[in-house]
């Protein structure tokens, strides 16, 4: 599965701790991330993360463009709800695209843990079936 990892500045430490805790699950999947978040994850783990630009420089939009094409199966986006973000319209667009494409999206640690444990159990395998159906239609 293709998983995007994104974290606002004040949530990057939390993302790194989350990824360390669930590295045994995440290692089985393709990981993508915005610039600094992806770098921090790779520095703290043995995981490989394909990185986009940082969020304020267009990374959220790059991921959003792929969500619009249904290229991601899960997004973990630790948002900082208490700090104004200069790229908030990009964040809102990404959340909207996840809703449109039915891409599971975790915006906090609690939801991320539920989704990652569901991923481990196979609860998100319907995304793979969706991918196969789309390939047949191409």
pLDDT of residue 100: 94
Domain at 38, CATH number: 3.40.50.1380
β-pair type (105-106, 74-78): parallel
**How far apart (Å, rounded) are the C-alpha atoms in residues 43 and 62?**
22
Residue 132 has, within 13 A of its CA and on its CB side, a CA count of 5
Known catalytic membership, residue 13: no
Q: Is the pLDDT of residue 115 over 60?
A: yes
pLDDT of residue 129: 80
pLDDT of residue 86: 75
Give the residue numbers spanning the domain of 23: 2-137
The number of folded domains in the chain is: 1
pLDDT tens readout for residues 42-90: 999 999 999 999 888 888 899 999 999 999 999 999 999 898 887 787 7
What residues contact residue 21 under an 8 Å CB cut-off, 6+ apart? none
Across the range 120-137, mean pLDDT stands at 75
Catalytic residue among 9, 13, 60, 131: 60
- Our CA dihedral for 49, 55, 59, 64, rounded to 10 degrees, sits at 100
pLDDT tens readout for residues 18-46: 999 999 999 999 999 999 999 999 999 99
Residue 87 and residue 60 in contact, taking contact as beta carbons nearer than 8 Å = yes
């Amino acid at each position: 599965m293709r998983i995007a990892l994104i974290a606002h500045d004040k949530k990057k430490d939390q993302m790194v701790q989350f990824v360390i805790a669930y590295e045994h699950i995440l290692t089985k999947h393709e990981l993508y991330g915005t610039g600094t978040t992806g770098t921090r994850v790779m520095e703290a783990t043995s995981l490989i993360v394909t990185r986009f630009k940082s969020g304020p420089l267009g990374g959220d939009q790059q991921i959003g463009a792929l969500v619009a094409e249904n290229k991601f199966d899960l997004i973990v986006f630790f948002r900082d709800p208490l700090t104004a973000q200069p790229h908030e319209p990009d964040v809102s667009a990404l959340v909207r695209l996840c809703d449109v494409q039915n891409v599971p999206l975790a915006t906090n640690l609690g939801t991320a843990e539920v989704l990652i444990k569901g991923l481990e159990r196979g609860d998100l395998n319907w995304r793979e079936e969706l991918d196969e159906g789309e390939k047949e239609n191409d």
